[in-house]
């Protein structure tokens, strides 16, 4: 272990020396870094699809192309198109008391950024934050997940070919490497994963006063309002829940439907699942659970709920035996309550608890009483109740009348709040996260500072009365 720690510290020091020697990179260099990253992803697209599928045993190639390749390339495209604008110093208002001085904010790279990425989207969640870090002019060290070893090794190879170690470096290994990595004195540490591990990462980073961005998870609700087309809601919720077999941090974790509509919702879910996945076991479109331990954890949550009185409805259109396939059938769980771990823990699998509510206020109150989720979904025909939900609930992000899609908007910040994380990235928000906003005030040769320096007297008193009592117009 000391050898690994020494190696990581040496690599970080190499990156820091290179950063100090070269200074903040200009626009041309940043565009070159982004171009190299895009070329690396494009040239090895097929290899990434194969590696991810190998790690999952079955991972839909189409889902990989959409979520891992397309979203990363879109992030690079926007950064490349906008980074010149993002880099420009921003003028700020100067108080009348300090005229004719000038105020501005300039954005500087922090230096050396650490990224710890998870297994569920092993390329996207490694490279999307890297886009923001490189656009902001930083050096990057990446620690990918040990649960996707084929993908992590491929990332190390591909990024090693595209970048010098002083620019981007990848460190593979198990949990002990991750713990040592999170203790390094980075200029910023970015972590995506569970709240439990995020807490440990934050504790480790705090020893070096390293600022952190935590992208966590939580129980993201899907709230269906009265009068909304149940088939449409079920299609969107099933799509969001079953993409990557539910192994998505913003997947709908539970659904809330109006009282008396549970049976209708279940029937709609059955129909939509059968349409999308007429079979499961040999279907390459339906992704497997990452490993035995996670599959057993999901099954334990369902079994515990059933033992406590919940009704379990398995949606297995071809009635296949899934033993040995690595897959779990889409599952709806009814009559749930908060005493069940299923309703306290993030499920991270193709299991959807369904609750019913009598009034909108009751549904909103339920969301308010629980830890703030990473995402919230609401389905409705009228603006007033949707606005009420948006105003009274706090979540990382929201998609209205669909699921997942807010994460694909590079112009929107993506991040959690409270238990679901802190800090944001994507697009300009990622650039800002990995930049230092430095305040700069330019003093003019002719200025009024002589009026507020000792010795104080009547002129000072009159000036202060004027500045304090003056009326300031509205913006």
Please state whether 436 falls in left (phi above 0), alpha (psi between -120 and 50) or beta.
Answer: beta
As given in the structure block, the two tokens for residue 216 are 């966590």
Report d(CA 240, CA 248) in Å as an integer. Answer: 9
Cα–Cα–Cα angle for 397, 402, 407, rounded to 5 degrees: 40
Report d(CA 273, CA 282) in Å as an integer. Answer: 15
User: Is residue 249 among the annotated active site residues?
Assistant: yes
Nearest partner of 49 among 60, 38, 37, judged by Cα: 60
What DSSP line would sit under 48-96, residue for residue?
A: HHHHHHHHHSS--HHHHIIIIIIHHHHHHHHHHHHHHHHHS-EEE---G
Query: Going along 74-217, which residue ranges are E strands?
Result: 90-92, 102-109, 112-116, 139-143, 168-170, 188-192, 212-215
Report d(CA 225, CA 227) in Å as an integer. Answer: 6
Question: Chain centroid to CA 171: how far?
Answer: 21
Q: Among residues 215, 346, 410, 428, which one is catalytic?
A: 215
Q: Which helix (H) or strand (E) holds 332?
A: strand 331-334
Report d(CA 24, CA 83) in Å as an integer. Answer: 14
Nearest partner of 329 among 358, 303, 351, 301, judged by Cα: 351
User: Is residue 49 among the annotated active site residues?
Assistant: no
Report whether 360 contacts 385 (CB < 8 A): yes
Q: Among residues 49, 68, 167, 249, which one is catalytic?
A: 249
Residue 107's SS3 state is strand
Residues 6+ apart with CB under 8 A from 138: 19, 109, 110, 111, 112, 113, 187, 188, 434
Q: How many residues does the chain have?
A: 475
Report d(CA 374, CA 116) in Å as an integer. Answer: 18
Give the position of tokens 């990332």.
Answer: 155
Report d(CA 117, CA 467) in Å as an integer. Answer: 52
Where in the sequence numbering do the catalytic residues fall? 215, 249
């Amino acid at each position: 272990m000391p050898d690994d720690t020494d190696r990581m510290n040496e690599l970080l020091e190499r990156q820091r020396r290179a950063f100090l020697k070269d200074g903040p990179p200009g626009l041309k260099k940043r565009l070159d870094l982004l171009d190299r990253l895009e070329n690396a992803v494009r040239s090895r697209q097929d290899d990434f699809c194969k590696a991810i599928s190998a790690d999952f045993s079955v991972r839909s190639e189409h889902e990989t192309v959409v979520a891992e390749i397309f979203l990363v390339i879109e992030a690079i495209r926007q950064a490349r198109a906008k980074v010149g604008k993002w880099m420009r110093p921003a003028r700020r208002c100067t108080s009348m008391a300090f005229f004719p001085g000038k105020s501005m904010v300039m954005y500087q790279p922090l230096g050396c950024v650490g990224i710890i990425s998870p297994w569920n989207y092993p390329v996207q969640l490694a490279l999307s934050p890297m886009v923001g870090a490189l656009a902001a002019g930083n050096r990057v060290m990446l620690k990918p997940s040990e649960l996707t070893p084929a993908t992590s090794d491929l990332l190390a190879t591909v990024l090693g070919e595209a970048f010098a170690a002083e620019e981007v470096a990848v460190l593979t290994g198990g949990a002990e490497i991750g713990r040592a990595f999170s203790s390094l004195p980075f200029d910023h540490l970015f972590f995506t994963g569970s709240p439990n591990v995020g807490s440990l990462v934050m504790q480790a980073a705090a020893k070096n006063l390293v600022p952190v961005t935590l992208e966590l998870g939580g129980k993201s609700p899907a709230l269906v309002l009265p009068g909304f087309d149940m088939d449409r809601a079920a299609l969107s919720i099933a799509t969001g829940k079953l993409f990557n077999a539910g192994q998505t941090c913003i997947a709908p974790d539970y659904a809330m439907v109006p009282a008396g509509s549970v049976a209708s919702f279940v029937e709609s879910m059955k129909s939509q699942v059968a349409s999308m996945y007429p079979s499961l076991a040999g279907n390459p479109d339906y992704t497997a659970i990452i490993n035995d331990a996670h599959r057993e954890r999901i099954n334990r949550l369902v079994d515990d709920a059933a033992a406590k009185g919940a009704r379990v409805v398995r949606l297995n259109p071809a009635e296949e035996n899934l033993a040995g396939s690595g897959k779990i059938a889409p599952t709806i769980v009814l009559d749930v309550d908060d005493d069940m771990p299923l309703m306290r823990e993030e499920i991270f699998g193709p299991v959807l608890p369904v609750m019913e509510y009598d009034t909108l206020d009751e549904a909103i109150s339920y969301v308010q009483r629980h830890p703030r989720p990473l995402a919230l979904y609401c389905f409705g025909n009228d603006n007033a109740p949707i606005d009420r939900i948006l105003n009274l609930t706090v979540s990382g992000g929201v998609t209205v009348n669909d699921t997942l899609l807010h994460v694909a908007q590079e112009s929107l910040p993506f991040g959690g709040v409270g238990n679901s994380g802190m800090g944001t990235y994507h697009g300009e928000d990622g650039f800002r996260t990995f930049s230092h906003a430095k305040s700069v005030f330019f003093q003019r040769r002719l200025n009024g500072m002589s009026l507020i320096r000792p010795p104080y007297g009547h002129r000072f008193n009159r000036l202060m009365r004027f500045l304090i009592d003056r009326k300031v117009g509205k913006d």
